[in-house]
Structure 1
Amino acid sequence: MDPFRRAQIILLCDLCKTAHLQSHCERCDINLCQTCVGKHLSDSSIRHKVVLYKYRKSLNYSTCPHHADELCKHYCEKCDLPVCSTCVSSSKHKGHDISDILEKLSSKTESLQKDLDELETRIYPRYEEMASDVQTEKAPLETNYGELTTIADQQGEILHREITAIVNQRKSDIQEMKNKHLSTLNKNTEEITQKMAELKQIMSDLKSILKSNDVSLTSTYKSRNSEFRTLPPKVRVTVPSLSAQKINKDQLNEMFGSLSPLSINTEHGDTMKSAEAVSSPPVKPLLDEPRVTATIDTGYRQLFSVSCLSEDQVWTCSQLNNTMKLLNLQSELLTSIQTKSGDTPTDIAVTRDGDLVYTDDSNNTVNLIKNKQIQTVITLQGWRPLSVCSTASDDLLVTMDSDDYKPSKVVRYSGSTEKQSIQFDDQGRPLYSSDAYIKYLSENKNLDICVTDQSASAVVVVNQSGKLRFRYTGHLSNTKQSFKPVGITTDSQSHILTADRHNDRIHILDQDGQFLRYIHCDLESPLGLCVDIRDNLFVAECITAKVKKIQYL
């Protein structure tokens, strides 16, 4: 009998309570009917994982050690352990940050898988390579030391009886060095082999944990990958040499030739970089003469922002028009979307998933457009959202000022949740000017947050934690007007590019704020900037309302 037909009476959707279930969300541990799947997935703040009900994974919740009848479906961040609902409400965990065990399980499982991948593909092969190198070094020992013995024998035959004692002594020295050399390499082999055995056991344990899907084992797992990234010491032993000299009976011992001491040097094991550190981009030098490769006519009266969807498609917007346009390199309109409020957008950005985000300072909202449907993800009270960018971790960074245009700050959001606020330096002084100008921003590859501050005539760069790194206030050169940076973007080389609108040029800086070069390309009032995945620069010219695609690397 079909199991779904047999279960029609009892297997109902957990949301509507009426329709027969079809699917299961492993992230939320909830059963869904076909109609409710779409409603459930509409909450984009959570990364749902919906599968057909028959393919669902059963979770092995651990039983609470203090409340035997309850399962641990929560996680105490401070105590670093799974807890049940009764534990959460008890005084023992009062004031502690409590998260969903499924969220913790997801991140822990991801971490375990990363560790296993690194051990299997990077760390263990290096240990195998080292073990092979030691075996290779041991192979010629007999030949090398045999040659030394032969030299000693030849010298002994020339000197006959007079040097028999010396010959025997030298051979004894050679044998002792050989034994010590071999013993040293054997010891090194044992150390490496022991580490390899530990690694095999860890990899086996990780596979067992991942396969078991046991919440307790997964949540209590502690990574040891950093311990094994530092490879064991590698022993370098130099084979001694024997220098022979002509016979002189008065100086037989000296003329026979001295045997150089056995040189054993232990090199500290290299520390392997993590997989994330290894994946650095290839170096792309700057072109001496940047060139325009395409020009897009947007049709706006004035153009303010541009954001790349792909190498040949860009989103654009104007603060004189409430419609955002998706255009290709041939200036063809592919899609147009009006703002939810009917007022003009302040700034736009494209997320890692290819969705469009825009800020609307008329109603203090940040909005996400997915499948042409507009969803308000952030609503501010007392603050106006200005510029927005999507980060490598899929967060949103938003510059904003207060309703009276005085304080300004940068805020990081994960979905609708505020995670970080950046407003003051270590001495409590404001990082950014208080004015009505839009402060554009971009996240660099090293996770620095780069903000343009027109009133201060500066680019203000802070690190990931919000600590001030430097301020760039322009380059000494013949310019028409003072430096007033507007649009800003970064590329795969961690260059910082900022638009100098009044001087019709782009400044290129390195990640530490050192000026490298200008981009001119007959630009007219450049304002918005973005870079695509191949490091092509797109420049929004405010007055001409055109977007120029520029190759500069």
Structure 2
Amino acid sequence: MTNFSQASEIKPCDFCEDPVLNFCRDCKNGLCKICTANHFLLKPSIVHDIVPFRYGTGSTRFSPQCACLSSEIPVHYCFDCLFPFCTACKHIHESHLSGCISENFHVLVQLLQEQNLELMNNIIPWSEASIDIINVKRTELSSRYEKLQVEINTQRDLLHKCLDDHFDGKLETLREMETQHLEKLSNEVEKYRKQKEFMIGILKRNKGILGSFRMLQRGKPHQIFKSLKVDLYPKFEELKMPSFVTDVTVENIRKKLSDFAGSLVQGSLLSSYLTPPPRKTFLSEKPMSVPKQITVFPIEFYGGDVACERGGTVWICGLGSRHIIQYDVKGGKTGNIISVTSQPSFLSLNSKGHLFYTEFRDESVKCVTHKIPETFAKNKGWQPRGIHCCLNDDVLVSEYSEELKHSRIVRYNSAGACLTILEYGTSQQKPLFENVRFLCENKNGDIGLTETDKVTVVVIRKNGRKRFQYSGHIRFSNFDDFEFAGISSDSRCNYVISDPKNRTLHVIDWQGKFLFYVMPGKLVSPMAVCVDDEDRAWVSEARGSIQVLTYMDNDTV
């Protein structure tokens, strides 16, 4: 650094030749006015402590000294820089509003008085009012939490009462069954007692007959056997004991209780679970006579997954690409590009517009807010694959384990906490899924997923019980076998499934009934499929293009 005389020269900035005004205590650099504004961008990872130059050089005592560190007492003041300067530095502040300190002393006094008035009339009262408001909230905080505790205790007492009534009813039913059982057994005992007395009488009569030699001598033994009763043995009525089913787990009990018990969310007094719309059935569902292709446009990479949002825009990720690009329905780029550190595999959007994607290699689920990806969830040993955001902003993720050789479905809430894991059946030994790729949830709350190894589409309820399984529709087609990839659900709760092998889309209803094919043989290896809010199907093709088409009449209800 060049040394300058304190008496004759002005200390220059460490980055340019302008006079120094400030000093960074972290970087140990003198800064001019322009370099001070740009210094924060030089090393954004460092917290820069920038102070006036005379303070940063070591002196913490205020002294009316010029920025050139001259021993001359400053006699001028710059109202733009808010800094005193000596006569030697007067040429630096020629274009600024400045003046002699002695001549403009009344102006400085006025500035200080205005600053004092601003502090007394505005800033200090505002701070006091803020303190009062915070104190009021502090005093009300305990009463509000006490109210919440009362509500929780009330809910607990109600649940205990419901459980007591439920099991008391079962015990009362069991006592009635016991009484009926004892009554039937008593009737059986009485019936066999009378039968025994009757058989004793027959035994005495038979002994009398055997002792009668006259009848045997008369040659009429058939009359003796005719008078015998051999069908006197009643059939015993076996009564079985009642059974009480106890194959329930703690997780199932908690799940059932959470359906009608309240939940606490930090920072909100509302429930964290939004009730989905009521179940609907659609009696008239008809395809368009000819599915209409709205547009087809190329993309920069081989199509990966597709995530639709309102307004006719879509986010697309590609195989081997580290960018997530937004397109509109006309096939043009909107200019929104999200760059990530690794390669995203599957995408989904929630109701708040937050973009979620899975990273296969990193074994994590990321959430993008304000174009900044952050880790949403991560489970060691489980590779996240398909992802779907539900109506209540829960996040469904299909995860695969290389060690266990099977998949599972994990449900997270909007904060990233794990709610449920669907992995094993009731036997806790056989896994429910083998290799799940894509998945979705319809308005009924049912989860549809595609099994790669089994070449089937499985639809399960929210509790993991299977609703139906779809393996393709051979009737009215020339297809012998199928290959299922992407799956999505529309506003009618139908499922739209891509079939790369047969170059078509399958449409089935929420009960598993096949409806129709969409453009069979005219799509080029369709992979991911996503249905937007206007029931338009966005299909990514393996050739590196996106097709947007409609397949249902608008008047279908």
Q: In which range does the TM-score fall when normalised by the shorter chain?
A: 0.5 to 0.7
- The reply on whether 1:6 has 2:105 as its aligned counterpart is no
The structural deviation recorded for 1:430 is 2.0
The aligned counterpart of 1:494 is 493
Answering whether residue 271 of structure 2 is matched by residue 107 of structure 1, we say yes
The alignment's TM-score, normalised by the length of structure 2, stands at 0.52
Aligned to 1:535: 535
Residue 80 (structure 1) aligns with: 155
Q: Which amino acid aligns with 1:370?
A: T
Cα distance between partner residues in 2 of 1:282 and 1:512? 12
Which residue number in structure 1 is paired with residue 381 of structure 2? 382
> Across the two proteins, how many residue pairs are aligned to each other?
329
**1:216 equivalent in structure 2:** none
Task: Identify the range of structure 1 (523-532 vs 419-428) with the bigger mean alpha-carbon deviation.
Answer: 419-428
The percent of aligned pairs where both chains have the same amino acid is 22
Q: Give the deviation of 1:106 after TM superposition.
A: 2.5
* Conserved? CA contact 1:408–1:432, under 8 Å: yes
- Report the RMSD for the aligned CA atoms in angstroms: 3.9
In the TM superposition, what whole-angstrom CA distance separates every residue of 1:222-247 from its partner, at most 9, and x where no partner exists?
xxxxxxxxxxxxxxxxxxxxxxxxxx
Q: Secondary structure at the match of 2:269?
A: helix
Amino acid paired to 1:431: L
Distance in 2 (alpha carbons) for counterparts of 1:480 and 1:285: 22
Tell which structure's C-alpha radius of gyration is larger.
Answer: 2
- Residues 75 and 529 of structure 1: CA distance in aligned 2, closer, same or farther (over 3 Å): farther
Cα deviation digits, residues 98-148 of structure 1 (max 9, x gap): 97587673339x99xx9xxxxxxxxxxxxxxxxxxxxxxxxxxxxxxxxxx
Shift of 1:324: 1.0
SS of 1:485 mapped into structure 2:
coil
Query: In the alignment, is the contact (CA less than 8 A) between 1:291 and 1:552 conserved in 2?
Result: no
2:345 and 2:358 in contact (8 A); partners too: yes
Q: Give the 3 Å change call, closer, same or farther, for CA 485–280 of structure 1 in structure 2.
A: closer
Equivalent positions of 1:204-223 (< 5 A) are none
Q: CA deviation at 1:58?
A: 8.7
- Matched AA of 1:455: D
Alpha-carbon distance in structure 2 between the residues aligned to 1:101 and 1:408: 30
1:500–1:526 CA contact under 8 A, matched in 2: yes
1:404 aligns with 2:403: yes
SS across alignment from 2:271:
helix
Map 1:362-441 onto structure 2 (within 5 A). 362-404=361-403, 406-414=405-413, 415-428=415-428, 429-433=430-434, 435=435, 439-441=437-439
Equivalent residues in 2 for 1:134-149, closer than 5 Å: none
Asked if the contact 2:349–2:356 (Cα under 8 Å) also holds between the matched residues in 1, the reply is yes
Could you say which residue in structure 2 is the equivalent of 1:149? none
Residue type matched to 2:333 in 1? L
CA distance in 2, matches of 1:500, 1:538: 14
Structure-2 residue corresponding to 1:329: 329
Q: Kindly provide the amino acid, as one letter, of the partner of residue 439 in structure 2.
A: L
Q: State the partner residue of 1:290.
A: 291
For 1:101 and 1:377, the matched residues in 2 are separated by 18
Q: Partner of 2:472 in structure 1?
A: 474
Cα distance 1:369–1:276, how it changes in 2: closer, same or farther (>3 A)?
A: closer
Give, in angstroms, the shift of residue 61 of structure 1.
Answer: 4.8
Distance in 1 (CA, whole Å) between partners of 2:386 and 2:398 is 5
CA distance in 2, matches of 1:367, 1:393: 19
Q: Is 396-405 or 351-360 further displaced after alignment? A: 396-405
* Residue-by-residue CA offset, 1:388-431 (whole Å, 9 max, x unaligned): 01101110000011143612011000021000111223344322
Other-structure match for 2:445: 447
* CA distance, structure 2, for counterparts of residue 4 and residue 106 of structure 1: 35
Is the partner of 1:305 in helix, strand or coil? Answer: strand
Q: Structure 1, unaligned stretches of length 5 or more?
A: 13-20, 25-30, 32-52, 65-70, 83-94, 115-274
CA distance in 1, matches of 2:283, 2:405: 43
CA distance in 2, matches of 1:535, 1:283: 16
Is the CA contact (8 Å cut-off) linking 2:397 and 2:411 kept in structure 1?
Answer: yes
Q: Which residues of 2 match residues 273-312 of structure 1 at below 5 A?
A: 277=278, 285-300=286-301, 302-312=302-312
Per the alignment, do residues 364 and 305 of structure 1 end up closer, same or farther by CA in structure 2, a change over 3 Å counting?
Answer: same
Alpha carbons of structure 1 residues 417 and 281: separation in structure 2 relative to 1, 3 Å: farther
Tell me, in whole angstroms, the C-alpha distance in 1 between the residues paired with 2:279 and 2:390. Answer: 20
Contact 1:73/1:101 (<8 A) preserved: no
2:232 paired residue number: none
Once residues 542 and 356 of structure 1 are traced to their aligned partners in structure 2, the CA distance between those partners, rounded to angstroms, is 23
The structural deviation recorded for 1:321 is 1.2
2:289 is paired with a residue of what secondary structure? coil
Rounded to whole Å, the distance in 2 between the matches of 1:279 and 1:469 is 16
Q: CA deviation at 1:363?
A: 0.8
The residue aligned with 1:218 is none
CA distance in 2, matches of 1:505, 1:492: 20
Quick one: structure 1 residues 6 and 281, their matched pair in 2 at CA, closer, same or farther if it must change by over 3 Å? farther
Task: Report how far residue 344 of structure 1 moved.
Answer: 1.3
Aligned partner letter, 2:309: L
Q: Deviations over 1:143-202 (max 9, x none)?
A: xxxxxxxxxxxxxxxxxxxxxxxxxxxxxxxxxxxxxxxxxxxxxxxxxxxxxxxxxxxx
Q: Specify the SS of the correspondent of 1:470.
A: strand
What does 1:208-357 correspond to in 2, within 5 Å?
A: 277=278, 285-300=286-301, 302-341=302-341, 343-357=342-356
Q: Mark the runs of 5 or more structure 2 residues left unpaired by the alignment.
A: 1-119, 158-253
Provide the rounded CA distance (Å) in 1 between the counterparts of 2:479 and 2:265. 60
TM-score normalised by length of structure 1: 0.53
Counterpart Cα distance in 2 of 1:344 and 1:370: 18
**Other structure's SS at 2:365 match:** strand
Residue of structure 1 in register with 2:456 after alignment: 458
